[in-house]
Amino acid sequence: MEEYHSGFIAMVGRPNVGKSTLLNRIVGDKIAITSEKAQTTRNKIQGIYTTKNSQMIFIDTPGIHKPKNALGDFMVKTAFSSLNEVDAILFLVAADQKRGSGDNLIIERLKTANVPVYLVINKIDKVHPDALLPIIDDYRKQMDFAEVFPISATQGNNVDRLLTQLTALLPEGPQYYPADQLSDHPEYFIISELIREKVLELTREEVPHSVAVVTEKIERVENEKVQIRATIIVERTSQKGIIIGKGGKMLKQIGTKARLDIERLLGDKVYLELWVKVQKDWRDKKVYLQDFGYRSSDY
């Protein structure tokens, strides 16, 4: 029998460099939400990529930024904790963004890593090819990376080459998850995230980072639609009004868009019931962070 190889790979980077987009590209389905708004990912999300002879578990982390509240603090601790006990680290940067203080902070932390660190320059489709060499040179001066991969997560450029390289370094190990499993997160979590993605997509700047979503019920009734009830939590009454919208129009739009993604995830017709609740300053209260799914050994 051929040897089986498996391992864990952390993905770190500033907000909005495309970590979740790359994860979805690798596993071939949407398990991590994406948005043009920064700090979309809040928890560690594990994506599972399985082939005949190997299995890679990718850990998509929240974008590293300067925390402004307890939620932000949780996100940064979550991102850095993922660097422990992995077999490789992908440091993602965006080709259309200059190296900044956030990148420098991550690089300093990565210098102490005892596993290979790969520099992944994403969004190469947004810059002229001649701009890539100066970017590579700049980052190589900061740290000795195992290798550099310019990619486009949205278009798929060079992603296969990255996977081939990662497969080659995997240690011999077991198949941790069934071959058809794409994530370690339960349906409740992914459904909540898909709903939150639509809130990020459809609402204005004052709302997105104040939103949490809790899926309270998933009920499968034989020969009928899957019944799902979820609550969108915001911090202020004015935000509740924005999410509900005039005559409930915004909430209906959020529900319609989320339902389509949830149906694709579950492979079933879905009846989605959404509620909106105000929980003042929940992002700064540890009890609410835990209630809404942001759990850590530090809380």
Token output for 266: 């579950």
Q: Does the global pTM surpass 0.75? A: no
Among the ranges given (24-28, 60-64, 194-198, 230-234), the one the predictor scored with the smallest mean pLDDT: 60-64
- The CATH number that applies at residue 254 is 3.30.300.20
Token output for 88: 């490789």
Verify that 101 and 212 share a domain, yes or no: no
Tokens 């992908």 belong to: 90
Which of residues 137 and 216 earns the better pLDDT score? 137
Structural domain includes residue 29: yes
Structural domain includes residue 178: no
Q: How confident is the model at residue 84 (pLDDT cuts 50, 70, 90)?
A: low
Look at residue 11 and give its three-state secondary structure.
strand
Average pLDDT over residues 92-97: 94
pLDDT for the residue numbered 226? 87
Q: How confident is the model at residue 35 (pLDDT cuts 50, 70, 90)?
A: very low
**DSSP code of residue 125:** G
pLDDT tops 60 at residue 297? no
pLDDT tops 80 at residue 3? yes
Look up residue 86 and give its amino acid: V
Q: How confident is the model at residue 39 (pLDDT cuts 50, 70, 90)?
A: very low
| Angstrom distance (rounded) from CA 143 to CA 119 | 10
Q: How confident is the model at residue 73 (pLDDT cuts 50, 70, 90)?
A: low
Verify that 46 and 134 share a domain, yes or no: yes
Average pLDDT over residues 10-28: 86
Structural domain includes residue 175: no
Verify that 216 and 263 share a domain, yes or no: yes
| Angstrom distance (rounded) from CA 193 to CA 163 | 26
pLDDT tops 80 at residue 30? no
* Domain that includes residue 124, residue range: 5-169
Among the ranges given (187-201, 232-246, 275-289), the one the predictor scored with the smallest mean pLDDT: 275-289
Verify that 116 and 233 share a domain, yes or no: no
Strands 54-60 and 45-50: antiparallel
Which residues in 119-130 are b (16+ Cβ under 10 Å) and which e? bbbbbbeeeeee
Structural domain includes residue 298: no
Residues in the chain: 299
13, burial (CB in 10 Å: exposed 0-12, middle 13-18, buried 19+):
buried
Answer with the one of 169, 195, 225 that is the final residue of a domain.
169
pLDDT tops 80 at residue 41? no
pLDDT tops 70 at residue 72? no
Considering 68-77, 160-169, 198-207, 264-273, the range whose residues carry the highest mean pLDDT is 160-169
Q: What is the total count of domains within the chain?
A: 2
- The CATH number that applies at residue 101 is 3.40.50.300
| Nearest by Cα to 110 from 83, 137, 92, 86 | 83
pLDDT for the residue numbered 109? 84
How far apart, in Å, are the Cα atoms of 280 and each of 205, 210, 235?
Answer: 18, 10, 4
pLDDT of 102-154, one tens digit each? 899 889 888 888 889 999 999 999 999 999 999 999 999 999 999 999 999 99
Share of the chain above pLDDT 70, in %: 76
pLDDT tops 50 at residue 253? yes
Verify that 163 and 18 share a domain, yes or no: yes
pLDDT for the residue numbered 236? 83
Which of residues 192 and 123 earns the better pLDDT score? 123
202, burial (CB in 10 Å: exposed 0-12, middle 13-18, buried 19+):
middle
pLDDT for the residue numbered 43? 47
Which of residues 236 and 122 earns the better pLDDT score? 122
Among the ranges given (10-19, 37-46, 61-70, 122-131), the one the predictor scored with the smallest mean pLDDT: 37-46
pLDDT of 146-181, one tens digit each? 999 999 999 999 999 999 999 998 999 988 888 877
Structural domain includes residue 177: no
CA terminus-to-terminus distance, the chain: 45
Verify that 165 and 235 share a domain, yes or no: no
Verify that 37 and 80 share a domain, yes or no: yes
| Angstrom distance (rounded) from CA 140 to CA 133 | 10
CB of 194 closer than 8 Å to CB of 218: no
CB of 149 closer than 8 Å to CB of 121: yes
